Structures are given as structure tokens and as C-alpha cells.
Amino acid sequence: MSRIGKLPISLPKGVTFNFSKENHTVTVKGPKGELKQVIDSDFIIKQEEGSIIVERPTEQKRHKSMHGLYRALIANMIEGVSNGYKAQLELVGVGYKASAQSNVLELSLGYSHNVFLAVPSEIKVQATQEKGGNPTIVLEGIDKQLVGQVAAKIKSLRQVEPYKGKGIRFTGEYVRRKAGKAAAK
């Protein structure tokens, strides 16, 4: 039995939940926005006393594998519309810079040219530079998957290299360093 799938999802105040049985769509509205997700038609979704329960119809392997997934997707939607998600990236390297105008992120990452990245309109992006610190990029949005996907795309523009630790990383991320060449005798 799925441990995650069995857990009820608590519905915070100010968040409305709607499940349409005709097109099998879950709609969650909250103070930060609205999200929709299509669910497999076999699954049963109940709303009881301020909580939501996802039940699977049979013990088939396909239903077992998707039970926890759908519960987690709905829980992430509720968390997103009530609190939102935030990803913070740090640029480590000499001369690395970031600036954001509306939803276009301009990055100077040590290449011969600047990199321009168009961020989806659902995500707010901020680039800050504190004196004596590394430039940081903050992504905020209600869709956990989209925030993570954009953060991974930005991170892939300059992977962290293991010798000097230069590159784009999440704030607080540990980078395992390698020793350089041993000195000749």
C-alpha cells in the first residue's frame, strides 16, 4: 500500500478545491493564483471535513504506481496557491553577473557573449548583487514543477566545476571539491 498516497491532504483556509468528474480535472484556487491538473479517470478523489483523500480503484501495478504521484501533485498545487515556491541560485565566479528586466534574464557567465534567457510569465525573477557577495537569482511562482524546471535550466548554463567551484548553484548547495595536480618533486 502506498504510504504517501494514503495520507490525507489538509486544505488551508482561503483555498478552494474542485474536482470535475466529466473531464477529470482538479482545480485549486488560492490567494496566489489558480492551478489545474488532469487526473487519471480511474482514481477517486473525495473532499471530507477540510481534507482531501485520493483513493485508487484496484491493486493493479499501474494504479499503485500512480497513487502517490497524484496525491503529491495535488498537495504541491495546494501548497503553491497558498504559500508559493521559491528557488534561489547563486553565481560563483569572477566577473559573473546577472540582471533581470521584466521576464528576461541577462547572464554574464564568462563566455564571449552574454546569455539572455526568457523566463515564463508565471514566474517572477529577481537578480541582486550585494557588495562583497555573489550575485543571486531568486525565482518565485506557484507551480513547483515550473519553478524547478526554470532553475535547472539556469543552472545548466554554467555547471559547477569541481576544481575551483565556479558556476551556478543553489544557495547553500554543497559542492564536492577535487584536489588539483600534485606538485612535481
For 123-160, what is each residue's pLDDT tens digit?
A: 999 999 989 899 999 999 999 999 999 999 999 999 99
Tell me which fold the domain 3-82 belongs to.
Outer Surface Protein A; domain 3 (3.90.930)
- pLDDT at residue 33, rounded to an integer: 94
Q: Where in the chain is the domain with CATH 3.90.930.12?
A: 3-82, 85-170
Residue type, 79: E
* Average pLDDT, integer, range 83-111: 94
Mean pLDDT (the chain) is 92
pLDDT digit string (tens) for 43-63? 999 998 889 999 999 999 999
Q: How confident is the model at residue 21 (pLDDT cuts 50, 70, 90)?
A: confident
**Quick one: what percent of the chain has pLDDT higher than 70?**
97
| pLDDT for residue 109 is more than 70 | yes
| Overall CATH class of domain 85-170 | alpha beta
| pLDDT for residue 102 is more than 70 | yes
Beta carbons within 8 Å of 109's beta carbon, 6+ residues apart: 91, 93, 96, 115, 157, 158, 168
Q: Of 2, 5, 89, nearest to 39 (Cα)?
A: 5
- pLDDT at residue 183, rounded to an integer: 66
Q: Of 162, 169, 105, 185, nearest to 134 (Cα)?
A: 169
